[in-house]
Amino acid sequence: VWLRWFQSWPDPTLSTRTGRLPSIRAAMVGLSHSALVVLGALLTTVGLDVCAAAPAARLGQCSASSCAETLLLAVKATVASGMEPGDESERVLLEHTAVVDNSAPTHGKVQGNVGLQHTLGALQKLAVAVVNGTEQLTDMQREILQGIREGMERMVDATFTDHNESQAEVDRARDALAECDDELDNVTIEGKARTSRSKEASHSDCRAAQKSLKALRDKDCRTYHKSATNQGMPDCMKTYDPKPDIEDDYAMHSMHTCLSDISAWASQLNSSLSEERDDCHGAAKLHDRKILECNELQAAYETAFCSYHEGLTGGCSSYISCRSSKTASQRRVHAGVQVAEAGRKTEYEAAARIDCLLKVFDASATEQPERLQGCASIHVNTSALDIVYHAPTPALDCTTDPVATYPCDDQWLNRSYKTKAWYMEAPTAACTVCAHLTTPAPTPAPTPA
Protein backbone atom coordinates (compact mmCIF):
# COMPACT_ATOMS: atom_id res chain seq x y z
CA VAL A 1 0.00 0.00 0.00
CA TRP A 2 2.80 2.41 0.92
CA LEU A 3 4.71 1.68 -2.27
CA ARG A 4 1.64 2.14 -4.46
CA TRP A 5 0.84 5.40 -2.64
CA PHE A 6 4.30 6.88 -3.18
CA GLN A 7 4.37 5.65 -6.76
CA SER A 8 1.24 7.75 -7.39
CA TRP A 9 2.99 11.06 -6.46
CA PRO A 10 3.87 12.00 -10.03
CA ASP A 11 0.09 12.16 -10.63
CA PRO A 12 -0.67 15.94 -10.72
CA THR A 13 -4.03 15.35 -9.08
CA LEU A 14 -4.64 14.42 -5.50
CA SER A 15 -7.47 12.02 -6.25
CA THR A 16 -5.32 8.93 -6.65
CA ARG A 17 -3.51 9.59 -3.36
CA THR A 18 -6.53 10.60 -1.30
CA GLY A 19 -8.32 7.47 -2.47
CA ARG A 20 -5.77 5.46 -0.60
CA LEU A 21 -5.70 7.66 2.52
CA PRO A 22 -7.75 5.31 4.72
CA SER A 23 -5.26 2.54 4.06
CA ILE A 24 -2.36 4.93 4.59
CA ARG A 25 -3.80 6.18 7.89
CA ALA A 26 -4.29 2.65 9.10
CA ALA A 27 -0.76 1.72 8.08
CA MET A 28 0.65 4.84 9.75
CA VAL A 29 -1.04 4.11 13.06
CA GLY A 30 0.12 0.54 12.93
CA LEU A 31 3.74 1.21 12.10
CA SER A 32 6.34 2.18 14.69
CA HIS A 33 9.16 4.56 14.03
CA SER A 34 11.52 1.55 13.69
CA ALA A 35 9.28 0.11 11.01
CA LEU A 36 9.30 3.41 9.19
CA VAL A 37 13.12 3.35 9.21
CA VAL A 38 13.03 -0.09 7.57
CA LEU A 39 10.43 1.12 5.11
CA GLY A 40 12.54 4.17 4.28
CA ALA A 41 15.52 1.94 3.55
CA LEU A 42 13.29 -0.25 1.38
CA LEU A 43 12.05 2.74 -0.58
CA THR A 44 15.62 3.88 -1.13
CA THR A 45 16.59 0.40 -2.30
CA VAL A 46 13.87 0.24 -4.93
CA GLY A 47 14.97 3.62 -6.23
CA LEU A 48 12.22 5.95 -5.05
CA ASP A 49 13.49 9.52 -4.52
CA VAL A 50 11.43 10.24 -1.42
CA CYS A 51 13.12 13.58 -0.75
CA ALA A 52 12.21 14.99 -4.15
CA ALA A 53 8.70 13.55 -3.90
CA ALA A 54 7.77 15.32 -0.65
CA PRO A 55 6.87 18.91 -1.53
CA ALA A 56 4.20 19.03 1.16
CA ALA A 57 6.87 18.64 3.85
CA ARG A 58 8.67 21.82 2.70
CA LEU A 59 12.06 20.08 2.80
CA GLY A 60 15.40 21.14 1.42
CA GLN A 61 18.18 18.84 0.26
CA CYS A 62 18.07 15.39 1.87
CA SER A 63 20.78 12.81 2.28
CA ALA A 64 20.23 9.08 2.04
CA SER A 65 20.77 8.76 5.78
CA SER A 66 17.77 11.02 6.45
CA CYS A 67 15.44 9.25 4.03
CA ALA A 68 13.43 7.51 6.75
CA GLU A 69 12.90 10.78 8.65
CA THR A 70 11.86 12.45 5.40
CA LEU A 71 9.40 9.65 4.75
CA LEU A 72 7.81 10.13 8.15
CA LEU A 73 7.41 13.89 7.62
CA ALA A 74 6.03 13.43 4.11
CA VAL A 75 3.47 10.90 5.29
CA LYS A 76 2.30 13.06 8.17
CA ALA A 77 1.99 16.21 6.04
CA THR A 78 0.29 14.44 3.13
CA VAL A 79 -2.10 12.50 5.32
CA ALA A 80 -2.99 15.77 7.07
CA SER A 81 -3.73 17.44 3.73
CA GLY A 82 -6.32 14.81 2.82
CA MET A 83 -8.18 14.33 6.10
CA GLU A 84 -11.87 14.81 6.53
CA PRO A 85 -13.20 17.93 8.38
CA GLY A 86 -13.96 15.84 11.44
CA ASP A 87 -10.28 14.98 11.80
CA GLU A 88 -9.30 18.59 12.57
CA SER A 89 -7.32 17.80 15.74
CA GLU A 90 -5.27 15.14 14.05
CA ARG A 91 -4.74 17.35 10.98
CA VAL A 92 -3.48 20.27 13.05
CA LEU A 93 -1.18 18.05 15.10
CA LEU A 94 0.19 16.42 11.96
CA GLU A 95 0.94 19.80 10.42
CA HIS A 96 2.72 20.96 13.54
CA THR A 97 4.62 17.76 14.15
CA ALA A 98 5.92 18.08 10.58
CA VAL A 99 7.18 21.57 11.46
CA VAL A 100 8.67 20.35 14.74
CA ASP A 101 10.34 17.32 13.15
CA ASN A 102 11.95 19.59 10.58
CA SER A 103 12.94 22.31 13.10
CA ALA A 104 16.43 23.49 13.92
CA PRO A 105 17.82 26.55 15.66
CA THR A 106 16.63 29.48 13.59
CA HIS A 107 19.09 32.18 14.72
CA GLY A 108 16.19 34.38 15.72
CA LYS A 109 14.28 34.10 12.44
CA VAL A 110 10.61 34.84 12.80
CA GLN A 111 9.48 31.81 10.80
CA GLY A 112 10.87 29.29 13.28
CA ASN A 113 9.38 31.08 16.28
CA VAL A 114 6.01 31.43 14.59
CA GLY A 115 5.97 27.70 13.80
CA LEU A 116 6.64 26.84 17.45
CA GLN A 117 4.01 29.31 18.64
CA HIS A 118 1.46 27.68 16.32
CA THR A 119 2.41 24.26 17.68
CA LEU A 120 2.10 25.60 21.22
CA GLY A 121 -1.31 27.04 20.43
CA ALA A 122 -2.54 23.77 18.94
CA LEU A 123 -1.37 21.82 22.00
CA GLN A 124 -3.00 24.33 24.35
CA LYS A 125 -6.33 23.93 22.57
CA LEU A 126 -6.03 20.16 22.63
CA ALA A 127 -4.99 20.13 26.31
CA VAL A 128 -7.94 22.32 27.31
CA ALA A 129 -10.30 20.07 25.35
CA VAL A 130 -8.86 16.93 26.97
CA VAL A 131 -8.96 18.42 30.49
CA ASN A 132 -12.54 19.67 29.94
CA GLY A 133 -13.54 16.20 28.71
CA THR A 134 -14.68 17.40 25.29
CA GLU A 135 -12.09 15.32 23.49
CA GLN A 136 -10.32 12.03 24.08
CA LEU A 137 -6.85 11.30 22.71
CA THR A 138 -6.74 8.73 19.92
CA ASP A 139 -3.83 6.36 19.40
CA MET A 140 -2.81 8.36 16.36
CA GLN A 141 -2.79 11.60 18.39
CA ARG A 142 -0.66 9.96 21.06
CA GLU A 143 1.84 8.86 18.43
CA ILE A 144 1.88 12.37 17.01
CA LEU A 145 2.44 13.83 20.49
CA GLN A 146 5.33 11.44 20.96
CA GLY A 147 6.76 12.67 17.66
CA ILE A 148 6.43 16.26 18.86
CA ARG A 149 8.17 15.36 22.13
CA GLU A 150 11.07 13.74 20.27
CA GLY A 151 11.26 16.70 17.91
CA MET A 152 11.42 19.10 20.84
CA GLU A 153 14.24 17.11 22.42
CA ARG A 154 16.22 17.26 19.21
CA MET A 155 15.52 20.96 18.85
CA VAL A 156 16.64 21.73 22.43
CA ASP A 157 19.83 19.73 21.89
CA ALA A 158 20.47 21.62 18.67
CA THR A 159 19.71 24.92 20.44
CA PHE A 160 22.45 24.32 23.01
CA THR A 161 24.82 23.18 20.29
CA ASP A 162 24.10 26.39 18.43
CA HIS A 163 24.53 28.37 21.66
CA ASN A 164 28.00 26.87 22.14
CA GLU A 165 28.90 27.70 18.56
CA SER A 166 27.76 31.31 19.06
CA GLN A 167 29.79 31.61 22.26
CA ALA A 168 32.80 30.24 20.42
CA GLU A 169 32.22 32.80 17.65
CA VAL A 170 32.14 35.63 20.21
CA ASP A 171 35.31 34.28 21.83
CA ARG A 172 37.04 34.08 18.45
CA ALA A 173 36.17 37.73 17.77
CA ARG A 174 37.76 38.65 21.12
CA ASP A 175 40.85 36.58 20.35
CA ALA A 176 41.17 38.10 16.87
CA LEU A 177 41.21 41.56 18.43
CA ALA A 178 43.85 40.45 20.93
CA GLU A 179 46.01 39.27 18.03
CA CYS A 180 46.42 42.92 17.00
CA ASP A 181 48.35 43.48 20.24
CA ASP A 182 50.48 40.43 19.51
CA GLU A 183 51.21 41.61 15.99
CA LEU A 184 52.42 45.00 17.25
CA ASP A 185 56.05 43.99 17.69
CA ASN A 186 56.96 46.38 20.49
CA VAL A 187 60.10 44.40 21.21
CA THR A 188 61.47 45.00 17.70
CA ILE A 189 60.37 48.64 17.65
CA GLU A 190 61.92 49.32 21.06
CA GLY A 191 65.06 47.56 19.85
CA LYS A 192 65.23 49.96 16.92
CA ALA A 193 64.73 52.88 19.32
CA ARG A 194 67.60 51.68 21.54
CA THR A 195 69.84 51.23 18.51
CA SER A 196 69.01 54.74 17.33
CA ARG A 197 69.78 56.23 20.74
CA SER A 198 73.03 54.28 20.95
CA LYS A 199 74.12 55.45 17.50
CA GLU A 200 73.20 59.02 18.39
CA ALA A 201 75.34 58.88 21.54
CA SER A 202 78.30 57.39 19.64
CA HIS A 203 78.06 60.07 17.00
CA SER A 204 77.74 62.86 19.54
CA ASP A 205 80.75 61.56 21.51
CA CYS A 206 82.75 61.38 18.30
CA ARG A 207 81.91 64.96 17.39
CA ALA A 208 82.91 66.10 20.87
CA ALA A 209 86.26 64.33 20.37
CA GLN A 210 86.51 65.92 16.92
CA LYS A 211 86.04 69.30 18.54
CA SER A 212 88.84 68.56 21.02
CA LEU A 213 91.18 67.39 18.24
CA LYS A 214 90.43 70.52 16.27
CA ALA A 215 91.39 72.62 19.29
CA LEU A 216 94.62 70.65 19.66
CA ARG A 217 95.37 71.00 15.96
CA ASP A 218 94.72 74.71 16.06
CA LYS A 219 96.96 75.18 19.11
CA ASP A 220 99.86 73.16 17.72
CA CYS A 221 99.65 74.72 14.30
CA ARG A 222 99.41 78.22 15.73
CA THR A 223 102.55 77.53 17.75
CA TYR A 224 104.33 76.25 14.66
CA HIS A 225 103.17 79.12 12.50
CA LYS A 226 104.12 81.63 15.17
CA SER A 227 107.61 80.15 15.52
CA ALA A 228 108.03 79.99 11.76
CA THR A 229 107.04 83.62 11.27
CA ASN A 230 108.92 84.99 14.27
CA GLN A 231 112.29 83.28 14.11
CA GLY A 232 114.33 85.80 16.23
CA MET A 233 117.46 86.05 14.05
CA PRO A 234 120.79 87.10 15.69
CA ASP A 235 121.40 90.88 15.60
CA CYS A 236 124.64 90.43 13.72
CA MET A 237 122.73 89.20 10.73
CA LYS A 238 121.42 92.71 10.21
CA THR A 239 124.99 94.02 9.58
CA TYR A 240 126.54 90.82 8.36
CA ASP A 241 128.97 91.48 5.53
CA PRO A 242 129.35 88.44 3.33
CA LYS A 243 132.46 90.04 1.68
CA PRO A 244 134.68 91.23 4.53
CA ASP A 245 138.11 92.77 4.00
CA ILE A 246 140.52 89.94 4.57
CA GLU A 247 143.16 92.50 5.65
CA ASP A 248 140.79 93.72 8.37
CA ASP A 249 141.20 91.41 11.35
CA TYR A 250 138.24 92.89 13.14
CA ALA A 251 135.96 92.39 10.16
CA MET A 252 137.12 88.82 9.79
CA HIS A 253 136.62 88.18 13.47
CA SER A 254 133.16 89.70 13.41
CA MET A 255 132.25 87.47 10.46
CA HIS A 256 133.28 84.31 12.26
CA THR A 257 131.55 85.38 15.45
CA CYS A 258 128.31 86.10 13.58
CA LEU A 259 128.51 82.85 11.68
CA SER A 260 128.88 81.00 14.95
CA ASP A 261 125.83 82.78 16.36
CA ILE A 262 123.86 82.06 13.16
CA SER A 263 124.81 78.39 13.26
CA ALA A 264 123.69 77.95 16.84
CA TRP A 265 120.47 79.84 16.16
CA ALA A 266 119.68 77.97 12.96
CA SER A 267 120.31 74.58 14.52
CA GLN A 268 118.06 75.29 17.45
CA LEU A 269 115.41 76.92 15.26
CA ASN A 270 115.38 74.04 12.83
CA SER A 271 115.02 71.53 15.63
CA SER A 272 112.15 73.37 17.33
CA LEU A 273 110.38 74.18 14.07
CA SER A 274 110.63 70.58 12.95
CA GLU A 275 109.12 69.39 16.20
CA GLU A 276 106.35 71.98 16.09
CA ARG A 277 105.69 71.17 12.44
CA ASP A 278 105.38 67.48 13.27
CA ASP A 279 102.99 68.30 16.12
CA CYS A 280 100.88 70.45 13.82
CA HIS A 281 100.77 67.93 11.02
CA GLY A 282 100.14 65.06 13.42
CA ALA A 283 97.24 66.89 15.11
CA ALA A 284 95.79 67.72 11.68
CA LYS A 285 95.92 64.08 10.61
CA LEU A 286 94.21 62.94 13.83
CA HIS A 287 91.55 65.57 13.28
CA ASP A 288 91.00 64.53 9.67
CA ARG A 289 90.70 60.86 10.62
CA LYS A 290 88.23 61.76 13.36
CA ILE A 291 86.11 63.68 10.85
CA LEU A 292 85.90 60.59 8.64
CA GLU A 293 85.05 58.42 11.64
CA CYS A 294 82.37 60.84 12.82
CA ASN A 295 80.88 61.09 9.34
CA GLU A 296 80.50 57.32 9.27
CA LEU A 297 78.91 57.36 12.72
CA GLN A 298 76.59 60.14 11.55
CA ALA A 299 75.45 58.04 8.58
CA ALA A 300 74.93 55.04 10.89
CA TYR A 301 72.88 57.19 13.28
CA GLU A 302 70.70 58.60 10.51
CA THR A 303 70.15 55.10 9.06
CA ALA A 304 69.22 53.74 12.50
CA PHE A 305 66.79 56.59 13.12
CA CYS A 306 65.21 56.04 9.70
CA SER A 307 64.77 52.36 10.55
CA TYR A 308 63.17 53.35 13.86
CA HIS A 309 60.91 55.84 12.07
CA GLU A 310 59.81 53.25 9.53
CA GLY A 311 59.24 50.57 12.19
CA LEU A 312 57.25 52.81 14.54
CA THR A 313 55.11 54.57 11.94
CA GLY A 314 54.47 51.34 10.04
CA GLY A 315 53.78 49.36 13.21
CA CYS A 316 51.38 51.94 14.63
CA SER A 317 49.61 52.33 11.30
CA SER A 318 49.14 48.56 10.97
CA TYR A 319 48.05 48.32 14.61
CA ILE A 320 45.45 51.08 14.28
CA SER A 321 44.14 49.49 11.06
CA CYS A 322 44.01 46.05 12.71
CA ARG A 323 42.19 47.42 15.77
CA SER A 324 39.69 49.26 13.59
CA SER A 325 38.97 46.20 11.45
CA LYS A 326 38.76 43.73 14.34
CA THR A 327 36.62 45.95 16.58
CA ALA A 328 34.20 46.51 13.69
CA SER A 329 34.16 42.75 13.10
CA GLN A 330 33.55 42.15 16.81
CA ARG A 331 30.60 44.57 16.76
CA ARG A 332 29.11 42.76 13.77
CA VAL A 333 29.58 39.39 15.45
CA HIS A 334 27.98 40.64 18.67
CA ALA A 335 25.04 42.13 16.77
CA GLY A 336 24.40 38.90 14.88
CA VAL A 337 24.84 36.69 17.93
CA GLN A 338 22.51 38.88 20.01
CA VAL A 339 19.76 38.31 17.46
CA ALA A 340 20.47 34.58 17.48
CA GLU A 341 20.58 34.54 21.28
CA ALA A 342 17.19 36.17 21.55
CA GLY A 343 15.76 33.75 18.98
CA ARG A 344 17.15 30.73 20.81
CA LYS A 345 15.70 31.90 24.10
CA THR A 346 12.31 32.42 22.51
CA GLU A 347 12.43 28.95 20.98
CA TYR A 348 13.65 27.43 24.22
CA GLU A 349 10.79 29.06 26.14
CA ALA A 350 8.29 27.76 23.58
CA ALA A 351 9.85 24.28 23.74
CA ALA A 352 9.65 24.33 27.56
CA ARG A 353 5.96 25.32 27.43
CA ILE A 354 5.29 22.62 24.82
CA ASP A 355 7.05 20.08 27.04
CA CYS A 356 4.89 21.22 29.95
CA LEU A 357 1.71 20.67 27.90
CA LEU A 358 2.92 17.27 26.73
CA LYS A 359 3.26 16.26 30.37
CA VAL A 360 -0.38 17.25 30.87
CA PHE A 361 -1.37 14.47 28.46
CA ASP A 362 0.82 11.99 30.37
CA ALA A 363 -0.81 12.81 33.72
CA SER A 364 -3.85 11.14 35.21
CA ALA A 365 -7.24 12.77 34.77
CA THR A 366 -7.15 14.08 38.35
CA GLU A 367 -3.68 15.64 37.91
CA GLN A 368 -4.31 17.17 34.50
CA PRO A 369 -6.16 20.36 35.59
CA GLU A 370 -3.42 21.33 38.05
CA ARG A 371 -0.69 20.62 35.54
CA LEU A 372 -2.47 22.63 32.86
CA GLN A 373 -2.79 25.54 35.28
CA GLY A 374 0.92 25.27 36.05
CA CYS A 375 1.74 25.49 32.36
CA ALA A 376 -0.10 28.80 32.16
CA SER A 377 2.16 30.38 34.80
CA ILE A 378 5.40 28.56 34.11
CA HIS A 379 8.61 30.62 34.29
CA VAL A 380 11.29 29.42 31.92
CA ASN A 381 14.87 30.14 33.02
CA THR A 382 16.95 30.85 29.91
CA SER A 383 20.15 31.91 31.69
CA ALA A 384 21.89 28.79 30.41
CA LEU A 385 21.60 30.35 26.95
CA ASP A 386 23.19 33.66 27.99
CA ILE A 387 26.14 34.64 25.83
CA VAL A 388 29.17 36.16 27.53
CA TYR A 389 30.14 39.18 25.46
CA HIS A 390 33.62 40.69 25.72
CA ALA A 391 34.31 44.41 25.75
CA PRO A 392 37.16 45.45 23.43
CA THR A 393 40.48 45.39 25.24
CA PRO A 394 42.09 48.82 25.76
CA ALA A 395 44.33 49.83 22.91
CA LEU A 396 48.05 49.79 23.49
CA ASP A 397 49.89 53.11 23.62
CA CYS A 398 51.30 53.40 20.11
CA THR A 399 52.36 56.97 19.42
CA THR A 400 54.64 58.22 16.65
CA ASP A 401 55.65 61.35 18.57
CA PRO A 402 59.26 60.16 19.04
CA VAL A 403 59.70 60.13 15.26
CA ALA A 404 57.54 63.14 14.40
CA THR A 405 60.73 64.70 12.98
CA TYR A 406 63.30 62.67 11.11
CA PRO A 407 66.72 62.98 9.40
CA CYS A 408 67.18 66.07 7.22
CA ASP A 409 64.03 67.69 8.61
CA ASP A 410 64.96 71.16 9.95
CA GLN A 411 63.61 70.44 13.43
CA TRP A 412 65.43 67.13 13.55
CA LEU A 413 68.72 68.75 12.42
CA ASN A 414 68.38 71.41 15.10
CA ARG A 415 67.60 68.90 17.83
CA SER A 416 70.16 66.29 16.83
CA TYR A 417 73.07 68.45 15.61
CA LYS A 418 72.90 72.20 15.51
CA THR A 419 72.06 72.79 19.17
CA LYS A 420 74.88 70.54 20.42
CA ALA A 421 77.88 72.12 22.15
CA TRP A 422 80.27 70.60 19.64
CA TYR A 423 78.46 71.66 16.46
CA MET A 424 80.26 74.98 15.76
CA GLU A 425 83.71 73.36 15.96
CA ALA A 426 82.67 69.97 14.58
CA PRO A 427 79.95 70.52 11.97
CA THR A 428 78.23 67.49 10.50
CA ALA A 429 78.42 66.19 6.96
CA ALA A 430 75.52 66.39 4.51
CA CYS A 431 72.42 64.64 5.87
CA THR A 432 71.06 61.43 4.24
CA VAL A 433 67.29 61.37 3.65
CA CYS A 434 65.41 58.26 4.80
CA ALA A 435 65.06 55.87 1.88
CA HIS A 436 61.46 54.93 2.74
CA LEU A 437 60.45 58.60 2.64
CA THR A 438 61.90 59.37 -0.77
CA THR A 439 59.75 59.35 -3.87
CA PRO A 440 61.35 57.33 -6.67
CA ALA A 441 62.12 59.37 -9.75
CA PRO A 442 59.69 58.66 -12.59
CA THR A 443 60.98 56.35 -15.29
CA PRO A 444 61.69 58.42 -18.41
CA ALA A 445 59.62 57.64 -21.45
CA PRO A 446 61.43 55.59 -24.08
CA THR A 447 62.95 57.58 -26.90
CA PRO A 448 61.13 56.99 -30.17
CA ALA A 449 63.19 55.02 -32.63
Instruction: Extract long-range pairs of 228-236: CB within 8 Å, 24+ residues apart.
Output: 228/273, 228/276, 228/277, 231/269, 232/265, 232/269, 233/262, 233/265, 234/258, 234/261, 234/262, 234/265, 236/261, 236/262
Residue 114 banded pLDDT, cuts 50, 70, 90:
low
Region 277-295: mean pLDDT is: 96
CA distance 192 to 316: 14
Residue pLDDT, tens place only, 221-239: 999 999 898 888 898 988 8
Region 194-220: mean pLDDT is: 96
Residue pLDDT, tens place only, 37-85: 444 444 443 333 333 343 333 333 334 334 444 444 444 444 444 444 4
- Residue 294's alpha-carbon distances to 99, 281, 374, in angstroms, are 85, 20, 92
CA distance 160 to 181: 32
Helix (H) or strand (E) holding 178: helix 139-183
Secondary-structure breakdown of the chain: helix, strand, coil percentages, each rounded to the nearest 5: 75, 0, 25
pLDDT recorded at residue 440 = 63
pLDDT recorded at residue 291 = 97
Percent of the chain with pLDDT strictly greater than 90? 53
pLDDT recorded at residue 148 = 86
Q: What count of Cα atoms within 13 Å lies in the side-chain half-sphere of residue 375?
A: 26
pLDDT recorded at residue 400 = 93
Residue 192 has pLDDT above 70, yes or no: yes
CB 176 within 8 A of CB 392: no
pLDDT recorded at residue 70 = 45
Region 96-110: mean pLDDT is: 44
pLDDT recorded at residue 322 = 94
pLDDT recorded at residue 51 = 36
Residue 391 has pLDDT above 80, yes or no: yes
pLDDT recorded at residue 112 = 52
CB 294 within 8 A of CB 138: no
CB 402 within 8 A of CB 312: yes
Residue 2 has pLDDT above 80, yes or no: no
pLDDT recorded at residue 444 = 64
CA distance 430 to 439: 19
Greater confidence (400 vs 42) lies with 400
Query: What phi and psi, each to the nearest 5 degrees, are found at residue 8?
Result: -85, -5
CA distance 344 to 354: 15
Residue 21 has pLDDT above 70, yes or no: no
Residue pLDDT, tens place only, 293-318: 999 999 999 999 999 999 999 999 99
pLDDT recorded at residue 140 = 85
CB 70 within 8 A of CB 50: yes
Collapsing DSSP to helix, strand or coil, 265 comes out as helix
CB 199 within 8 A of CB 363: no
